[in-house]
Amino acid sequence: MNAISKSVMSKSSMSKSSMSKSSMSKSAMSKSAMSKSAISKNVMLSGLVAGGLLLASSTATLHAAESILQARPCGPDSVTGPLRMLIPQGAFGADFRPACRSHDACYDTPFADRAACDSRYLAAMECACQNSRHPILCRMVARAMYRVTSKHGEESFRSAQAIALQKLAVAGR
Q: What is the mean pLDDT of residues 96-111?
A: 96
Q: Let me know whether 93 and 47 are in one domain.
A: no
Q: At 64, is the pLDDT very low, low, confident or very high (cuts 50, 70, 90)? A: low
Q: Determine how many CB atoms are found less than 10 A away from the CB of residue 87.
A: 16
Cα separation of 103 and 77, whole Å? Answer: 12
Is the CB of residue 103 less than 8 Å from the CB of residue 117? yes
**Bridging pattern class, strands 90-91 and 94-95:** antiparallel
Please tell me whether residues 150 and 96 are part of one structural domain: yes
Is the same domain home to 78 and 57?
no
- Answer yes or no: do 63 and 76 share one domain: no
DSSP code for 86 = G
Residue 96 has pLDDT above 70, yes or no: yes
139 with 94, same domain? Answer: yes
pLDDT at 136 over 80: yes
One domain for residues 43 and 29: yes
In terms of domains, do 131 and 101 share one? yes
Q: What amino acid occupies position 12?
A: S
Interval 53-57 mean pLDDT: 38
Q: Is residue 11 part of a domain?
A: no
Q: How confident is the model at residue 82, as a pLDDT? A: 86
End of a domain among 37, 69, 101?
A: 69
Going by C-beta distance under 8 Å and a sequence separation of 6 or more, which residues neighbour residue 161? Answer: 107, 110, 111, 112
Q: How many domains does the chain have?
A: 2
| 86 and 25 together in one domain | no
Q: What is the pTM of this model?
A: 0.61
Which residue range is the domain that position 84 belongs to?
72-172
- In this structure, are 29 and 93 located in the same domain? no
Per-residue pLDDT band at 123 (split at 50, 70, 90)? very high
| Contact in structure between 146 and 125 (CB atoms under 8 Å) | yes
Please compute the mean of the pLDDT values over residues 93-118 and round it to a whole number: 96
- Do 37 and 117 lie in a common domain? no
Q: Looking at the structure, do residues 65 and 80 belong to the same domain, yes or no?
A: no
